[in-house]
């Protein structure tokens, strides 16, 4: 239960309840923020008994972790789709290209997926640092797999390098949304430049 999930649904009805709980968690986060989030209100919004919530999750941290993993799966699928759509003209030639692609898709999802941004709990204290690290490490592993499948050369110390990029991207997008609902375009553009410069320094001259 290290991820806060006590039991994963095996039947369709249970799976529907599981997803409704995550949807309710996302809606409440978007509307009221983490401090106002309670398991009882999540269960009420989802239309299930509170006991059902605790059959699946250990509490708020479990809900948040699973919501983050669902969001990561959406991001992974979006990046794969972008790569497949433009495979012929090689949109990703470098790790800098790959980082900016993930950055752009993360921005798009923050604009369209309920609580995609709110569920980034780096500065909320919503879950412990170890669980945040697990989420980021999973994202780094998936992004590295996508990059290597796209034909990019192996990265030196790839997990650490990508964890730095992920943390920086999260902070950049958070900053961009502090002054504009859809993100400050100037900050977003500077963030892409920062990522390109970072990977250019890591990879070095060809």
User: pLDDT tens-digit profile of 60-96?
Assistant: 888 888 998 899 999 999 998 888 776 556 568 899 9
Query: Cα–Cα distance between 83 and 148 in angstroms, integer?
Result: 12
Instruction: Quickly list H helices, 86-180.
Output: 95-112, 129-149, 158-179
User: Which whole number is the average pLDDT over 128-139?
Assistant: 79
User: Which whole number is the average pLDDT over 151-169?
Assistant: 92
CA distances to 33, 152, 153, 155, 161 from 203, rounded to whole Å, are 39, 11, 10, 8, 11
Average pLDDT of the chain to the nearest whole number: 85
Residue whose tokens read 């789709």: 81
User: Which whole number is the average pLDDT over 160-185?
Assistant: 89
Q: Which domains does the chain have, with CATH numbers?
A: 12-203 (1.10.357.10)
User: Which whole number is the average pLDDT over 130-137?
Assistant: 80
Helix (H, G, I), strand (E, B) or coil at 194: helix
For residue range 118-127, list pLDDT tens digits in order: 545 555 555 5
Most confident of 38-47, 74-83, 103-112, 146-155: 38-47
What's the half-sphere exposure (Cβ side, CA atoms, 13 Å) at 24? 22
Question: Three-state secondary structure along 54-67?
Answer: HHHECCHHHHHHHH
- Please report which confidence band the pLDDT of residue 177 belongs to, taking 50, 70 and 90 as the band edges: confident
The yes-or-no verdict on residue 153 having pLDDT over 80 is yes
Query: Cα–Cα distance between 140 and 163 in angstroms, integer?
Result: 6
User: Which whole number is the average pLDDT over 116-142?
Assistant: 71
Q: How far apart are the first and last CA of the chain?
A: 45
Q: Are 126 and 38 in contact (CB under 8 A)?
A: no
* Residue of 196 and 135 predicted with greater confidence: 196
């Amino acid at each position: 239960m290290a991820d806060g999930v006590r039991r994963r649904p095996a039947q369709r009805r249970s799976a529907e309840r599981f997803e409704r709980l995550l949807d309710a968690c996302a809606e409440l986060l978007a509307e009221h923020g983490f401090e106002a989030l309670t398991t009882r209100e999540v269960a009420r919004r989802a239309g299930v008994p509170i006991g059902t919530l605790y059959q699946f999750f250990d509490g708020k941290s479990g809900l948040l972790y699973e919501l983050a993993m669902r969001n990561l799966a959406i991001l992974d699928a979006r990046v794969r789709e972008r790569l497949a759509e433009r495979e012929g003209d090689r949109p990703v030639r470098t790790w800098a290209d790959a980082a900016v692609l993930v950055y752009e898709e993360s921005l798009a999802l923050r604009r369209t997926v309920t609580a995609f941004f709110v569920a980034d709990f780096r500065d909320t204290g919503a879950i412990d640092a170890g669980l945040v690290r697990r989420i980021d490490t999973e994202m780094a592993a998936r992004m590295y797999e996508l990059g290597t499948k796209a034909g990019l050369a192996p990265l030196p110390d790839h997990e650490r390098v990508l964890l730095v990029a992920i943390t920086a991207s999260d902070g950049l997008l958070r900053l961009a949304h502090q002054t504009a609902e859809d993100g400050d375009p100037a900050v977003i553009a500077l963030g892409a430049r920062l990522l390109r410069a970072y990977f250019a320094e890591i990879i070095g001259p060809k």
